[in-house]
Structure 1
């Protein structure tokens, strides 16, 4: 998978990963409260938790490099899953221009960082 597609998948999965992290925390807490915790399951959950935390941190770090408009475009497209037409109304920009901006933002993130 090329870097651009990999970044877009990470962005699409960002909110899902946050939800997974919350559920893992609940699962770990439940296991720790049980009379005989399954240590293999705890280890596996902690390993998945660490992987998901790293993915979330990478996206947080990348978003911190963006200006407000670019960050909003990424959040609207990947986190809110908005269509370009809906984004254009909110941003007061043409949907075609937003598509071009999104492409440039993704390219810049891939070119300027180690994904």
Structure 2
């Protein structure tokens, strides 16, 4: 007799529910998805275009993984500073599509 059978004998009226967690979903790569949209904006610094992503409320490690993955997929440089991802160049459309495919809500800010 295993533990489940013993529990059924002790509590015959108990109905077992499926394990439903109330945390947000995680994708297969383990990045936490959030309700609030990630802000994707375009700026020029020293005359060169950059794309900035901010507004992620999960762990910094997940955001760093996301930054690394975006840089590899786009084959561009960039950095992670002060809870923002900075990508060299104007890649707003491509970045927004990649994030939407991953399940994120993305909001485009600026022109």
* TM-score under structure 2 length normalisation: 0.30
Q: Per residue, is there more strand in 1 or in 2?
A: 2
Q: Per residue, is there more helix in 1 or in 2?
A: 1
- Identify the structure with bigger relative contact order (alpha carbons < 8 Å, sequence gap 6+): 1
Q: Which has the larger radius of gyration?
A: 2
